[in-house]
Each structure stands twice: as structure tokens, then as C-alpha cells.
């Protein structure tokens, strides 16, 4: 979502300075939505200048992800940094300077201001020039202006959505060519967790650790129809590292995927990075830059920032790594917030873009962790704890043997069976398991079984049993 550049400012400013030098003080050319007259620093009057932007309309091809009967669209590929959103229908450009009344134009990006065929359009806009030191406030919207005349209107409909924004000061030299780099930043309308729906993208290693998983069961995020992982399960007393993935969209459900990072901005044009915050010093996070490798241990922190869309992978996902230390106990949270505070100015009733995802990080624990002197036909019980596990836990003989209820030796010999003697009970989130020797008469040997969260299948807590 970007301007190509303001290189076309150069020739236009030369023209404006020439008119001033020749006494063209009355050069007024009013248009709907903003006057082309304005005061230069010399006090003379002159016309506005031109702004050239490029729109890539070829991104409109969508692919659809379907789960629970709801379609969810995702743009294919990534956009060039020299393009703005292909859904952009209008552009609001306000130019202001100290002590001078601001000037605003509302440009229609779908009509006579633009030319070109196929996937690329070039639009040339007349905007005011009011001083040598100017502040540009630019909003990219998904609708055309109201009451358009010759490509310019009087405003935008109240139900318009802001796709991008920038608020940037620029200094121009009158009578000379100027190349100004003004870059529209993506306004994030929201993000939706898809950790239970996507594979970890390459080149990141996957899986990270066998005791890290996301439980997305029964959580529907923002009506998109697929589960949202609001719960991360790890093994108590064992360090774990694993990925979380969020899909980010602007107000038109377009992906933020650009080759050159643009800041996420509030609708007032101020950069407002997304933040990740952990409630525990034993739980740290690190965002992964697009197409990067896994970050080093020094990159993990209790708080982290996602400053721009360079952290968005080509399939629209943020990739965030979470790490728990071996000392992690109890439950903790990771909160992702986009920090947008300004209201969408086009709505009669202000509507914010704010969006938050909170994960609860849960360690599976068991007491006791070992059982001694069971006897070949003896019985014993252990109690597992798995906060928020609505579907409880199962007993497995190994990581890949989900719920087979066996306690096996390292050689795979079953010495005892393990069965849940009750479902999980809340609010304590405990579940009791009965261990029963197989009656073989063998004693003195040790077997192991694992308690697994039923929704995050690979998550385990080991229990050893001595017959």
C-alpha cells in the first residue's frame, strides 16, 4: 500500500515557481473538495502541483480457505512496494502548513484521473501547494468520493473503510525539482489466529518441540468459521518453543504482503506497532521477520513489537514464536494487540479498528510423576492437571500412540494399562487415571506412559511406573 513516489512533484513545482516569478498571482483553479489556490512562502498565489501514484489491480484474484462452511478469502502472492491496495477507490489528501489554512482534495481513483490497461493503472492527482514546509495527511479508502466532478468529490461516504494512511512532514524547494518519498502504511483492521489451521512456513524448522501445541477446539474467532487457538499447552518442567500464526487483514480483507516493509499505522497516520506481551518472565516471545530463520535465544523477551508488515509472510500470516523455560509453572497469557486508538473518521458513529488476541499458556502436570512397587497385578492412581482442557486428557504409551492406554518398557513391552477413571473436572481441571498391572508376575521393571491433551495431540507429561 504505497505511493510509487512523489517524483512528479518536481516538474509541477518548477511550473508553480515559474508562474509566481512571472506575476501569476491570480492563478486560481478551484475543484470540488479543495481549492487549488494557496499561499506560497513568498505570499504569492499559485496553482497546485501533481501527485502520481500507481495502482496494481491484478491482486484481485482470491483463494478461499474453507472450514465449518465459511469461506475466508486470502490474496495470492505479494504486492510490489510501488503499488497501493488494488481495492483503493479513493484518496483523501490534506496539505497543511503552520499559520495557513489546510487544503483537502478527495480524488476518485476509478475514473478520469487514472489511465492504463490490464493490471496497472497510473493516476495523476492535482493537490494544493501551500508552503515550502508542508504536512501531508493521506488516507486511502475503499470507496469513491461523493458528488464527483472531473475526478474530484466533496468527501467520502460514511461507510468508507480506511485501507492505508500516512501523516508526514515534507520540505519542498520552490523552483526546483523535488523527489519526496511518501509511503502509505497499512491500517490493520484485525487479525485472526489460525495456528491450528496452517503449517509452519519454511524455512522455519517444524515441529519445534514435541511438548508444544495449540488447542483451537471450540473457539470461533470473529465469525470466520475456523477455530482460533486461544490456548497453548506445554509440559510442566520442560522447556518448549513453538509457533503461533495470525492472519492479518485490512478493512477489505486484503492481505498485508509487501516486499518492502511499511509501518502499521493508526487512521490518523501515526505509526502504532502491534505488541506482544507475556504475563510471566518464564514465558517469552519473538516475532519472526518475513522469510527469516528462527531467532536466537537472545531475541526472546517478555514484550515484543511488530512494527511493520515485513513480519507478514506471503500467505498473510504473522509467525510468532513462544518459549517457556523449564521453570514455567501455573498458567500465563500472551496478548497480541494492534494498539489502534483513533476512530475511522468516515463513520457517523465512530468505529475503532482495535483487535486483540489473548492466549492462555497451560502446563500439563501430574501427581505423582512416578509410581513405585505397583506389583504385577496391583493398582494405583495418578491425577493430571490441564487447565481449560474441556475434552480432557488421554493416556498414551508414546508420542505417536494417541490414547492407547498402555504403560510400556523402553523395548515396547506392556507391563500395565492406564485408563481414565473419570472425565476432567472443572474448575480444578483435574483428571484421575487408574494404573493396573497386567498380571504377568514380572516385578522390578519400569514402564512409562504419557498424559496428552486431547486437543493438542502431541502434548505430553511422562509418568514412570515400577512394577
Q: Tell me: the pLDDT tens digits for 220-244?
A: 444 444 445 688 999 999 999 999 8
**pLDDT for residue 60 is more than 50:** no
User: pLDDT: is 12 or 210 the higher one?
Assistant: 210
- Cα–Cα distance between 96 and 130 in angstroms, integer? 7
Predicted local confidence at residue 178, as pLDDT: 67
The residue out of 363, 385, 415 marking a domain boundary is 363
**pLDDT for residue 415 is more than 90:** yes
Which of 162-166, 198-202, 436-440 shows the lowest per-residue confidence on average (mean pLDDT)? 198-202
Which of 171-180, 417-426, 442-451 shows the lowest per-residue confidence on average (mean pLDDT)? 171-180
* Residue 177 pLDDT grade (very low, low, confident, very high; cuts 50, 70, 90): low
22 located within any domain: yes
Predicted local confidence at residue 291, as pLDDT: 75
Q: Which residues contact 2 (CB under 8 A, 6 or more apart)?
A: 81, 82, 83, 84, 183, 184, 258, 260, 262
| DSSP track, 96-150 | EETTEEEEEEEEETTSTTEE--TTEEEEEEEE----SEEEEEEEEESSPPSS-BT
* Residue 455 pLDDT grade (very low, low, confident, very high; cuts 50, 70, 90): confident
Tell me which residue of 133, 93, 131 sits closest to 109, measured CA to CA: 93
Q: What is the dihedral of CA 111, 113, 117, 118, to 10 degrees?
A: -70
Q: What does pLDDT average to over the chain? A: 77
> Domain check: are 242 and 326 in the same one?
yes
Three-state SS at 439: coil
Strands ordered across the beta sheet of 49-56:
49-56, 120-127, 114-115
The residue out of 363, 386, 415 marking a domain boundary is 363
3 located within any domain: no
* Residue 25 pLDDT grade (very low, low, confident, very high; cuts 50, 70, 90): very low
Contact 182, 3 (CB under 8 A): yes
Which of 204-218, 388-402, 403-417, 435-449 shows the lowest per-residue confidence on average (mean pLDDT)? 204-218
1 located within any domain: no
Percent of the chain beyond pLDDT 90?
A: 36
> Domain check: are 339 and 452 in the same one?
no
> Domain check: are 318 and 244 in the same one?
yes
344 located within any domain: yes
Predicted local confidence at residue 48, as pLDDT: 61
**pLDDT for residue 304 is more than 80:** yes
For 398, the domain range is 368-466
**pLDDT for residue 19 is more than 60:** no
Beta pairing class for 356-367 and 231-235: parallel
* Residue 413 pLDDT grade (very low, low, confident, very high; cuts 50, 70, 90): very high
Output phi, psi for 188, to 5 deg: -85, 115
- Cα–Cα distance between 165 and 91 in angstroms, integer? 10
Predicted local confidence at residue 249, as pLDDT: 76
User: pLDDT: is 163 or 291 the higher one?
Assistant: 163
> Domain check: are 178 and 194 in the same one?
no
Contact 394, 452 (CB under 8 A): yes
User: pLDDT: is 364 or 347 the higher one?
Assistant: 364
* Residue 64 pLDDT grade (very low, low, confident, very high; cuts 50, 70, 90): very low
User: pLDDT: is 332 or 3 the higher one?
Assistant: 332
The residue out of 137, 154, 186 marking a domain boundary is 186
Three-state SS at 213: strand
Predicted local confidence at residue 126, as pLDDT: 83
Predicted local confidence at residue 124, as pLDDT: 86
> Domain check: are 236 and 314 in the same one?
yes
Predicted local confidence at residue 84, as pLDDT: 65
> Domain check: are 94 and 238 in the same one?
no
Predicted local confidence at residue 67, as pLDDT: 31
> Domain check: are 171 and 197 in the same one?
no
| DSSP track, 228-261 | ---EEEEETTS-EEEEEEEEEE-TTS-B--BSS-
Which of 22-31, 242-251, 315-324, 394-403 shows the lowest per-residue confidence on average (mean pLDDT)? 22-31
Average pLDDT, stretch 419-426? 90
Q: Number of C-alpha atoms within 13 angstroms, CB side, residue 73?
A: 10
> Domain check: are 357 and 385 in the same one?
no
341 located within any domain: yes
Predicted local confidence at residue 328, as pLDDT: 96
140 located within any domain: yes
- Cα–Cα distance between 88 and 186 in angstroms, integer? 12
Three-state SS at 392: coil
> Domain check: are 177 and 196 in the same one?
no
User: pLDDT: is 323 or 123 the higher one?
Assistant: 323
**126-140, 170-184, 307-321, 322-336: range with highest mean pLDDT:** 322-336
Predicted local confidence at residue 50, as pLDDT: 72
**pLDDT for residue 63 is more than 80:** no
CATH number of the domain to which 461 belongs: 2.60.40
- Cα–Cα distance between 411 and 115 in angstroms, integer? 73
4 located within any domain: no
Q: Where are the beta strands (DSSP E) in 283-429?
A: 283-287, 303-306, 317-324, 332-337, 356-367, 370-371, 379-385, 393-396, 406-408, 414-420
* Residue 77 pLDDT grade (very low, low, confident, very high; cuts 50, 70, 90): very low
**pLDDT for residue 45 is more than 50:** no
> Domain check: are 412 and 280 in the same one?
no
Count up the domains in the chain and report the number.
Answer: 3
435 located within any domain: yes
- Cα–Cα distance between 194 and 213 in angstroms, integer? 13
- Cα–Cα distance between 271 and 276 in angstroms, integer? 16
> Domain check: are 275 and 413 in the same one?
no
Q: Can you give the pTM of this predicted structure? A: 0.78
> Domain check: are 174 and 322 in the same one?
no
Predicted local confidence at residue 118, as pLDDT: 64
Q: What angle do CA 334, 340, 346 make, to 5 degrees?
A: 145
- Cα–Cα distance between 139 and 90 in angstroms, integer? 8
**pLDDT for residue 82 is more than 60:** no
* Residue 395 pLDDT grade (very low, low, confident, very high; cuts 50, 70, 90): very high
User: pLDDT: is 324 or 253 the higher one?
Assistant: 324
Amino acid at each position: 500500500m504505497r505511493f510509487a513516489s512523489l517524483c512528479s512533484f518536481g516538474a509541477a513545482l518548477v511550473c508553480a515557481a515559474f508562474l509566481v516569478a512571472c506575476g501569476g498571482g491570480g492563478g486560481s483553479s478551484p475543484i470540488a473538495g479543495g481549492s487549488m489556490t494557496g499561499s506560497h512562502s513568498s505570499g504569492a498565489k499559485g496553482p497546485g502541483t501533481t501527485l502520481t501514484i500507481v495502482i496494481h489491480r491484478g491482486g484481485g484474484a482470491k483463494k478461499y480457505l474453507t472450514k465449518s462452511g465459511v469461506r475466508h478469502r486470502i490474496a495470492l502472492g505479494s504486492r510490489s512496494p510501488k503499488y497501493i491496495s488494488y481495492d483503493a477507490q479513493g484518496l483523501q489528501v490534506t496539505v497543511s502548513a503552520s499559520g495557513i489554512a489546510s487544503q483537502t482534495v478527495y480524488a476518485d481513483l476509478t475514473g478520469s484521473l487514472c489511465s492504463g490497461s490490464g493490471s496497472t493503472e497510473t493516476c495523476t492527482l492535482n493537490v494544493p501547494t501551500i508552503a515550502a514546509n508542508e504536512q501531508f495527511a493521506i488516507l486511502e479508502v475503499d470507496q469513491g468520493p461523493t458528488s464527483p466532478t472531473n475526478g474530484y468529490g466533496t468527501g467520502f461516504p460514511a461507510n468508507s473503510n480506511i485501507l492505508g494512511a500516512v501523516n508526514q512532514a515534507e520540505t519542498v524547494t520552490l523552483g526546483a525539482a523535488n523527489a519526496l518519498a511518501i509511503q502509505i502504511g497499512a491500517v490493520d483492521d484485525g487479525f485472526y489466529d489460525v495456528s491450528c489451521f496452517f503449517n509452519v512456513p519454511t524455512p522455519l524448522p517444524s515441529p519445534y518441540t514435541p511438548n508444544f501445541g495449540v488447542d483451537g477446539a471450540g473457539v470461533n474467532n470473529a465469525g470466520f468459521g475456523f477455530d482460533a487457538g486461544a490456548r497453548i499447552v506445554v509440559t510442566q518442567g520442560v522447556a518448549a518453543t513453538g509457533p503461533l500464526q495470525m492472519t492479518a487483514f485490512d478493512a477489505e480483507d486484503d492481505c498485508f504482503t509487501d516486499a518492502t516493509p511499511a509501518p502499521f499505522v493508526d487512521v490518523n497516520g501515526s505509526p502504532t506497532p502491534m505488541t506482544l506481551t507475556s504475563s510471566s518472565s518464564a514465558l517469552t516471545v519473538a516475532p519472526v521477520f518475513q522469510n527469516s530463520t528462527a531467532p536466537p535465544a537472545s531475541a526472546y523477551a517478555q514484550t515484543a513489537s511488530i512494527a511493520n508488515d515485513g513480519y507478514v509472510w506471503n500467505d498473510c500470516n504473522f509467525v510468532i514464536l513462544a518459549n517457556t523455560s523449564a521453570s514455567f509453572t501455573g498458567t500465563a497469557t500472551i496478548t497480541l494487540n494492534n494498539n489502534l486508538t483513533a476512530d475511522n473518521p468516515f463513520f457517523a458513529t465512530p468505529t475503532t479498528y482495535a483487535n486483540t488476541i489473548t492466549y492462555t499458556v497451560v502446563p500439563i502436570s501430574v501427581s505423582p510423576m512416578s509410581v513405585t512397587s505397583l506389583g504385577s497385578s496391583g493398582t494405583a492412581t495418578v491425577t493430571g492437571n490441564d487447565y481449560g482442557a474441556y475434552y480432557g486428557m488421554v493416556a498414551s504409551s508414546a508420542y505417536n500412540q494417541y490414547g492407547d492406554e498402555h504403560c510400556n518398557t523402553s523395548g515396547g513391552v506392556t507391563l500395565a494399562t492406564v485408563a481414565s477413571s473419570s472425565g476432567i473436572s472443572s474448575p480444578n481441571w483435574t483428571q484421575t487415571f487408574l494404573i493396573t498391572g497386567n498380571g504377568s508376575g514380572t516385578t522390578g521393571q519400569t514402564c512409562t506412559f504419557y498424559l496428552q491433551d486431547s486437543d493438542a495431540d502431541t502434548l505430553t507429561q511422562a509418568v514412570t511406573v515400577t512394577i
